[in-house]
């Protein structure tokens, strides 16, 4: 039997490239809140480099730190989005956005994101969050969230970063972001957060290098 060589202009099959593409497409349907959700997080982390702060000054930014420890049982329940950096998977959200977290027996957390569309109907997406261990910081608020089907959970690309950057002692206000500073959410237990408290959260986020000038205020 003779072996046929592929034409010179045909690119050989690249299983790694194809797996990455599948993972990216699988996460495209994620809807908003916290989340999240924030698929493609692994890819964003890989791209993240030390760079200048949001004002463009040519200074180095320190890696982001997360809150530690975070009690996920206390963190559970409903959170209301107050502000976010624009993202493509929340474009359909024109009204209130919420996220509900429910700890599971296996140590993961069930995530349900809901938002109101411009036509008044709701969008909802259910996913799973898992804790990412941080050396020397037991219970650190570094999680990953997946909204793709469970059978794709082996793909790193379907897991997005969910870093708790700031959390008050009463678990009433949470600042969530990603290590590349491309995604940011301000969450609160109350449906509407006091304007001064919200501004303080955004000021803190800006001090971390987030471009808060682009923030969208939710429901205001």
Q: Is pTM beyond 0.75 here? A: no
Type and span of the H or E element at 79: strand 77-84
d(CA 117, CA 95) in angstroms, rounded, equals: 6
Q: DSSP code of 61?
A: P
For the stretch 105-144, pLDDT in tens is 999 999 999 999 999 999 999 999 999 999 999 999 999 9
Q: Could you report the per-residue pLDDT of 13-43, keeping only the tens digit for each?
A: 344 443 443 343 333 333 333 333 333 343 3
Cβ-based neighbours of 57, under 8 Å, separated by 6 or more:
none
The whole-angstrom separation of Cα 84 and Cα 17 is 31
The two structure tokens encoding residue 211: 């471009």
Question: Would you tell me how many other CB atoms lie within 10 Å of the CB of residue 174?
Answer: 24
């Amino acid at each position: 039997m003779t072996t046929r060589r592929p034409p010179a202009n045909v690119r050989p099959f690249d299983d790694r490239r194809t797996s990455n593409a599948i993972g990216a497409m699988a996460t495209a349907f994620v809807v908003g809140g916290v989340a999240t959700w924030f698929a493609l997080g692994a890819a964003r982390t890989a791209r993240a480099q030390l760079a200048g702060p949001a004002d463009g000054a040519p200074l180095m930014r320190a890696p982001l730190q997360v809150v530690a420890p975070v009690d996920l049982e206390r963190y559970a329940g409903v959170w209301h989005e107050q502000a976010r950096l624009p993202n493509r998977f929340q474009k359909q959200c024109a009204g209130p956005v919420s996220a509900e977290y429910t700890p599971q027996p296996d140590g993961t957390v069930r995530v349900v994101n809901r938002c109101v569309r411009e036509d008044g109907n709701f969008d909802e997406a259910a996913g799973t969050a898992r804790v990412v261990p941080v050396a020397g910081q037991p219970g650190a608020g570094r999680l990953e969230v997946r909204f793709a089907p469970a059978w794709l959970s082996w793909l790193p690309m379907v897991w997005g970063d969910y870093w708790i950057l700031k959390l008050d002692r009463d678990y009433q206000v949470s600042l969530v972001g990603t290590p590349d500073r491309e995604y940011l959410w301000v969450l609160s237990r109350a449906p509407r957060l006091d304007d001064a408290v919200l501004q303080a959260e955004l000021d803190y986020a800006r001090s971390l290098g987030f471009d808060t000038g682009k923030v969208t205020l939710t429901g205001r």
